[in-house]
């Protein structure tokens, strides 16, 4: 199956299905000599884990990651790192009704048409369950980038369904189940999700993800632009239907006199470009926003067809996230970290010895 790998020098390949015995990833290209253990990867897996609140799927998975290779005496060896996460709470019988039918908005129909057969249990390979090994793999990238550049990643929800979520403080993100940077709105968000669940329906979400303390110069012109690879990776997340970098679509209404980020000796005045110019990082924060569609698996009956093309009404049972965007923040961080890590190694390989006489200005003016 093509399309299961991401990256050029730092490559992540995932394997497994939602209801198979295990899921995992092979990470190739990690530099040798970095201290690494499973605990380094577990924190973000716990943030992404299902069953953590009443607003997400109640599938109970510990998501305990094991490192099978690539680490010796506590340090990376430079060889492929194999990660595995055992599936322990599958309920495959919940999906017996869709064996010969297709859920509207889901990948059932396209997988069947492409491969001639599919694994219907939990969506098989198309399930968001496969984001768990991505999050584990990105833990390796996050640690290396933090140690070498001080780079770190932050993601938070900026809209739930019809409800915009104004930014208050980054400190609120870890204190609520929505990864919302606004503590005063949690009761409203909880009421909204409770009503949605009672209706047997779902909603979308908008997530902002940022890379902070970015090095300058990552990315390549034209087809390997940093922002192009970011967009490619973000669209690889289940249910993502839109990606904005910097001002995004808002730039259509902006004038050049406003949009261009002015530079001063003490830093950039603004960051409408989202931290990338000409496909190369400026040293400012990478600023990305993603749009996540409503969950396709819902209790509300919808019209569809069966395997023979006959009309049918389908109601999806089982345990599903009414809004997959609620657990998307650590996943978006992971995808961004994998792209930044890959470009950091590519930059080091080609331009590691480049000396530029132009001083690096501050990422943002005081």
Q: Please give the pLDDT value at position 18.
A: 83
Give me the residue label for tokens 């506590």: 74
Domain ranges of the chain: 92-351
Question: Residue 285: its pLDDT value, please?
Answer: 97
Question: Which helix (H) or strand (E) covers residue 286, if one does?
Answer: strand 286-292
Hunting for tokens 């989202």 — which residue is that?
274
**Which token pair is 227?**
């922002």
pLDDT tens by residue, 100-144: 888 888 888 888 888 888 887 767 788 888 999 999 999 999 999
- Separation CA 269–CA 133 (nearest Å): 38
Handedness of CA 291, 295, 296, 299 (dihedral sign): negative
Q: Are 255 and 303 in contact (CB under 8 A)?
A: no
Q: Which two tokens stand for residue 85?
A: 């996460």
Find the distance separating the first CA and the last CA of the chain, reported in whole Å. Answer: 49
Tell me the longest C-alpha to C-alpha distance in the chain.
Answer: 69
pLDDT of residue 244: 98
Task: Tell me whether residue 218 is exposed, middle or buried, using C-beta atoms within 10 angstroms of its C-beta: 0 to 12, 13 to 18, 19 or more.
Answer: buried
Whole-number pLDDT of residue 96: 59
Q: What is the number of other CB atoms lying within 10 angstroms of the CB of residue 242?
A: 16
Q: DSSP letter for 327, please.
A: G
Return left, alpha or beta for 44; rule: phi > 0 is left, psi -120 to 50 is alpha, else beta. alpha
Each residue's pLDDT, cut to its tens digit, for the chain (366 residues) gives 678 999 999 999 999 988 888 999 999 999 999 999 999 999 999 998 865 666 665 555 688 999 999 999 999 999 999 999 998 865 555 555 677 888 888 888 888 888 888 887 767 788 888 999 999 999 999 999 999 999 999 999 999 999 999 999 999 999 999 999 999 999 999 999 999 888 888 999 999 999 999 999 999 999 999 999 999 999 999 999 999 999 999 999 999 999 999 999 999 999 999 999 999 999 999 999 999 999 887 777 889 888 889 999 887 766 567 898 999 999 999 999 999 999 999 999 999 999 999 999 988 887
Q: Residue 233: is it exposed, middle or buried by C-beta count within 10 angstroms (0-12/13-18/19+)?
A: buried
Both tokens assigned to 118: 């599919």
pLDDT at 91: 57
Q: Cβ distance 67 to 2 under 8 Å?
A: no
Identify whether the C-beta of residue 246 lies closer than 8 Å to the C-beta of residue 239. Answer: no
What's the pLDDT at 54?
Answer: 67
Q: How far apart are CA 139 and CA 153, in angstroms?
A: 11
pLDDT score at 178? 95
Q: Say whether 243 sits in a helix, a strand or coil.
A: strand
Pick the CATH number of 92-351 from 3.40.50.20, 3.30.750.24, 3.10.290.10, 3.60.150.10: 3.60.150.10
Give the integer Cα–Cα distance in Å for 277 and 287: 13
Token pair belonging to 12: 């992540």
- pLDDT computed for residue 90 by the predictor: 57
């Amino acid at each position: 199956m093509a399309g299961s790998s991401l990256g050029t020098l730092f490559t992540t390949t995932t394997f497994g299905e939602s209801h198979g015995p295990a899921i995992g990833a092979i990470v190739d290209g990690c530099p040798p000599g970095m201290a690494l253990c499973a605990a380094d990867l577990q924190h973000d897996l716990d943030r992404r884990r299902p069953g953590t609140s009443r607003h997400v799927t109640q599938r109970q998975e510990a998501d305990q990651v094991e490192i099978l290779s690539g680490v010796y005496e506590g340090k990376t060896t430079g060889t492929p790192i194999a990660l595995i996460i055992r599936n322990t709470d599958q309920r495959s019988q919940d999906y017996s009704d869709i064996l010969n039918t297709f859920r509207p908005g889901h990948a059932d129909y396209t997988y069947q048409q492409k491969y001639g057969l599919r694994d219907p249990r939990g969506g098989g390979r198309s399930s968001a369950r496969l984001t768990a090994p991505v999050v584990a793999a990105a833990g390796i990238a996050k640690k290396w980038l933090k140690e070498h550049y001080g780079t770190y990643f932050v993601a938070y929800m900026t809209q739930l369904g019809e409800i915009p979520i104004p930014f208050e403080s980054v400190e609120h993100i870890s204190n609520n189940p929505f990864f919302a940077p606004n503590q005063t709105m949690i009761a409203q968000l909880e009421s909204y999700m409770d009503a949605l669940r009672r209706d047997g329906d779902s909603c979308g979400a908008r997530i902002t993800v940022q890379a902070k303390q970015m090095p300058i110069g990552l990315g390549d012109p034209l087809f390997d632009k940093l922002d192009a690879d970011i967009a490619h990776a973000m669209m690889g997340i289940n249910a993502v239907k839109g990606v904005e970098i910097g001002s995004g679509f808002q730039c259509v209404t902006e004038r050049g006199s406003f949009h261009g980020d002015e530079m001063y000796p003490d830093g950039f005045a603004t960051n409408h470009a989202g931290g990338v110019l000409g496909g190369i990082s400026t040293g400012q924060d990478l600023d990305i926003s993603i749009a996540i569609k409503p969950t396709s698996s819902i209790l509300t009956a919808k019209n569809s067809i069966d395997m023979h093309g006959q009309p049918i009404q389908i109601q999806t049972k089982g345990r599903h996230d009414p809004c997959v965007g609620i657990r998307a923040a650590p996943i978006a961080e992971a995808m961004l970290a994998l792209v930044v890590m890959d470009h950091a190694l590519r930059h080091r390989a080609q331009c590691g010895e480049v000396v530029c006489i132009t001083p690096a200005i501050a990422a943002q003016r005081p």
